[in-house]
Structure 1
Amino acid sequence: MSLKSCDSPDISNLSFAVKGSFLNPLSPYKSQYIEKGVMIVEDGRISSLGPNADPPLPDELEIMDFGNRIIMPGFIDTHIHIPQVNQRARFGHSLLDWLERNIYRAEAEFSDPEKAETLSSAFFKEMIRNGTTSCMAFSSVSGPATDIAFQKARETGVRAIIGKVMMDRSDAGSAPETLSQSIEQSVALAQKWNMAENGRLRYAFTPRFAPTCSRELMLAAGSAARELGCMIQSHLSENEEEVRVVLQLFPECRSYTEVYAKYGCLDKNTVMAHCIHMSDRELEIFKDSGASVSHCPSSNLYLKSGSMSLKRMQQHNIPMGLGSDVGAGPSFSICDVMKSMNFCQPFPISPQQSLYLATLGGAEILGIGEITGNFLPGKWADFIVMDLDRLQPGFTVDSIEDLIAFLIYLGHGGMVDQVFVEGRKIKG
């Protein structure tokens, strides 16, 4: 038996055993904690997880022993913007003002290949540093820059769904595109990158939001996504001023949600960020479509956009995950997002539900719940190793609720020791 210390875990193949204390989300209501456990990985996939002595380990199996460190599935960030990595903490009076002041300019600059490479590298490095193994991300309107972002995702080894921003209205930001340019570049990127790297990289058609998109663009984006088997991502009802603008631009629709439904961008493969200012009728339309919500409480707090009602989403059985929404969100840490969510809601959220939304719940809405998000056998070995002594020396686990609450309220990137995707250690 070959034993590797936790400080030198580079292994010679993708079949090995991991020892440590395991935190494993199973549902919104239940998580598993194994204080002294062992997980066996075969060809990058999880074979089993159990107590340290069960099952016996084959003599030839390499072992990584992390002692009392916590091992859990990597975080899943369901809404984030690659070009905005350096736009965090930029002032704006409201969402639309913030976009005009900071974001349209920054995303136009992202079209420069050198800048796209630098910012994409910084983005994935920060993502990994904070223990996020999977993300759904917006790029910019530039097709070549989006291609560079995909290349960096491939190089770093993260699991990512990325889309080129689509925005063809003549009054949309600083660098709108034509309808034909938007569709042609998006389709070419989808054909190149969707399901690349054995499915680790996927494509999402990405109309920015209704105020920047023509009816024709949304119809074409939805149609192309369905034809090519891709996801759709956009923004919905983030800000009350934004909602008013949408209703003025689309008078044939009674609500913001109906715009996306009417023009082909709302189905079971759609993830909409925010969804704060929605009527009961909109929630019913949304539920019937099969679409999912990325809840982004940190950015909603920052831009004073309002607070999404978690209870209303639950009442309508709408699937959800969590998004950092960097750059309006100031932190890549999904622990910070969980904390913001708990602060925003007027009722207690169980630690298990928070952990589920940050991991398995996020994986499920991104269509990857069958391959990642927890430690069920057959899933890819996407996991992070955390040293809680970096947060509070001598911390002891008295209950699983206390352990998860500790991560929610005190956790940050500094606790993340190592990150693995598909059994490979990855670095930014």
Structure 2
Amino acid sequence: MPGLVDSHVHASQFPNNGLHLGTPLLEWLEKYTFPTERSFADVKVAEKVYPRVVDRMLRNGTTTASYFATAHLPATKVLAATTAAKGQRALVGKVNMLMNCPENYREESVEESLRETEEFISYTESLKSPLVQPIVTPRFAITCPEDHMRALGALASKHKCRVQSHLCESEPEKELVKKIFPDFPSYTYLYHAMGLLTDKTIMAHCVWLDDEEVRLLAEKRAGVSHCPNSNLNLLSGHCNVKKLLQHGVKVGLGTDCSAGYSSSVLDAMRRALHVSCSVGMEHSKHDVLTLPEAFHLATLGGAQVVSMDDCIGNFVVGKEFDAILVDDTMEDKIQRFLYNGDDRNMVEVYVAGRRVVAR
């Protein structure tokens, strides 16, 4: 079957995986996540952690991943080089943040942030890997002042880069954005005004969008990475994926490790089904996701979100061969695999026709 696409994952948070869950988002970031990411100031940490992360992702059938690294340039270079060496298709982003984050874990200035981000873009291009591309990564509006976001939007446009960030993950986050940026009608419109909302944009979560924000995402052809595992663990809420799809918004799945404790897109698919059932029970007229629809989110839907559906996501002739060989064959067993399977069932994994995992 087609390789799985993880459209939102924090490679630097794997050491924190499965810890401190059940904590609200902003508290979880401050107390646990920022300190974990700060350790990547030591490039040796990156050299130890990132190869294990990529191996684990590939073993779970994730042939394409959109990674957040950290604000550290040397460590982020390690992640890009690692994905290239191991043959995973990846978007890799150096995190940008200047405010509302620890003093010992933030960039020095807008100018330094832009310089390092552009250097990372050049470095990734120098790898000459057809599989690995840079992605401009403002962490979220709370950590980026207005001039910073505008400059990052211009940088993404200059280099024709994709953009990834977080949007409307929790109600307190959305209220804080409104407080910091009172002159903008919505969180989504703020990104649009900064030049960060394009058809190459991946916005993670999108739990608390209003109707106008849904319309704007659809109009701009921006993608949404649905991360049900983390949305449940951090008490963020239930994303109404069916509504997004009905309004023409591109939707894929994200594991969002470490707020999501599983690195498997299959887990994200199953939890997307559960969340959709919960939304359906809350709104009696709501259609719930079907298993084929959830599988679409894990494959071609994810490819659309990361703007790669022209070359991956299914087995249309002419696309690249990103695939997993599963040890189930009959249709009923395929359903059983989608619900119960894991890395132990994945016999082989291919990216661009190259076998990167073999049992």
Pairwise same-fold verdict (TM > 0.5): yes
**TM-score of the pair, normalised by structure 2:** 0.93
* Deviation digits for residues 275-296 of structure 1 (CA, Å, limit 9, x no counterpart): 0001101111222222110011
* Deviation digits for residues 66-110 of structure 1 (CA, Å, limit 9, x no counterpart): xxxxxx111000000110112111215201111112110111101
- Alpha-carbon distance in structure 1 between the residues aligned to 2:334 and 2:261: 22
Deviation at 1:225, TM superposition (A): 0.6
Say which of 115, 128, 138 aligns to 2:58.
128
Deviation at 1:355, TM superposition (A): 1.3
* Deviation digits for residues 16-62 of structure 1 (CA, Å, limit 9, x no counterpart): xxxxxxxxxxxxxxxxxxxxxxxxxxxxxxxxxxxxxxxxxxxxxxx
- Alpha-carbon distance in structure 1 between the residues aligned to 2:129 and 2:342: 31
Q: Secondary structure at the match of 2:202?
A: strand
Give, as a single letter, the amino acid of the residue that structure 2 aligns with 1:77. Answer: D
* Deviation digits for residues 110-149 of structure 1 (CA, Å, limit 9, x no counterpart): 1211101111011101101101110111000001110011
Say which of 220, 227, 235 aligns to 2:158.
227
Give, as a single letter, the amino acid of the residue that structure 2 aligns with 1:280. Answer: D
- Counterpart position of 1:267: 198
Aligned 8 A contact 2:12 2:70 in 1: yes
- Counterpart position of 1:163: 93
Aligned 8 A contact 1:196 1:202 in 2: no
Q: Secondary structure at the match of 1:117?
A: helix
- Alpha-carbon distance in structure 2 between the residues aligned to 1:75 and 1:84: 20
Matches within 5 A, 1:233-252: 233-252=164-183
2:158 paired with 1:218:
no
Deviation at 1:199, TM superposition (A): 2.5
* Deviation digits for residues 143-168 of structure 1 (CA, Å, limit 9, x no counterpart): 11100111111111100001000001
| Compared CA separation, residues 319 and 403, structure 1 to 2 (3 A) | farther
Give, as a single letter, the amino acid of the residue that structure 1 aligns with 2:271. Answer: S
- Counterpart position of 1:206: 137
* Uncovered stretches (5+) of structure 2, i.e. residues with no partner: 281-286
The structure carrying a bigger strand percent of its residues is 1
- Alpha-carbon distance in structure 1 between the residues aligned to 2:213 and 2:354: 43
Say which of 225, 235, 238 aligns to 1:304.
235
Aligned 8 A contact 1:77 1:324 in 2: yes
**TM-score of the pair, normalised by structure 1:** 0.78
- Counterpart position of 1:74: 3
Aligned 8 A contact 1:206 1:232 in 2: yes
Aligned 8 A contact 1:335 1:407 in 2: no
2:294 paired with 1:357:
no
- Alpha-carbon distance in structure 1 between the residues aligned to 2:322 and 2:246: 31
Matches within 5 A, 1:372-383: 372-383=312-323
- Alpha-carbon distance in structure 2 between the residues aligned to 1:257 and 1:348: 25
2:38 paired with 1:108:
yes
Matches within 5 A, 1:325-340: 325-340=256-271
- Counterpart position of 1:284: 215
- Counterpart position of 1:40: none
Give, as a single letter, the amino acid of the residue that structure 2 aligns with 1:222. Answer: G
| Compared CA separation, residues 282 and 160, structure 1 to 2 (3 A) | same
- Counterpart position of 2:78: 148
- Alpha-carbon distance in structure 1 between the residues aligned to 2:65 and 2:114: 23
* Uncovered stretches (5+) of structure 1, i.e. residues with no partner: 1-71, 389-395
- Counterpart position of 1:384: 324
Deviation at 1:217, TM superposition (A): 1.1
The structure carrying a bigger helix percent of its residues is 2
Aligned 8 A contact 1:195 1:202 in 2: no
Deviation at 1:250, TM superposition (A): 0.4
- Counterpart position of 1:7: none
- Alpha-carbon distance in structure 1 between the residues aligned to 2:167 and 2:131: 27
Aligned 8 A contact 2:81 2:127 in 1: no
Q: Which is worse superposed, 358-367 or 74-83?
A: 358-367
Say which of 88, 104, 124 aligns to 1:193.
124
Q: Percent identity?
A: 35
Q: Secondary structure at the match of 1:85?
A: helix
Which one has a bigger Cα radius of gyration? Answer: 1
Say which of 2, 16, 26 aligns to 1:87.
16
2:349 paired with 1:408:
no
Give, as a single letter, the amino acid of the residue that structure 2 aligns with 1:207. Answer: P
Deviation at 1:411, TM superposition (A): 1.8
Aligned 8 A contact 2:241 2:251 in 1: no
| Compared CA separation, residues 175 and 89, structure 1 to 2 (3 A) | same
Q: Secondary structure at the match of 2:263?
A: coil
Deviation at 1:367, TM superposition (A): 1.6
2:123 paired with 1:183:
no
- Alpha-carbon distance in structure 2 between the residues aligned to 1:404 and 1:415: 11
Q: Secondary structure at the match of 2:5?
A: strand
Deviation at 1:269, TM superposition (A): 0.9
Equivalences, count: 346
- Alpha-carbon distance in structure 2 between the residues aligned to 1:385 and 1:141: 36
Deviation at 1:194, TM superposition (A): 4.3
- Alpha-carbon distance in structure 1 between the residues aligned to 2:197 and 2:353: 34
Give the 4+ runs in structure 1 shifted more than 6 A. none
Deviation at 1:427, TM superposition (A): 4.1
Deviation at 1:316, TM superposition (A): 1.5
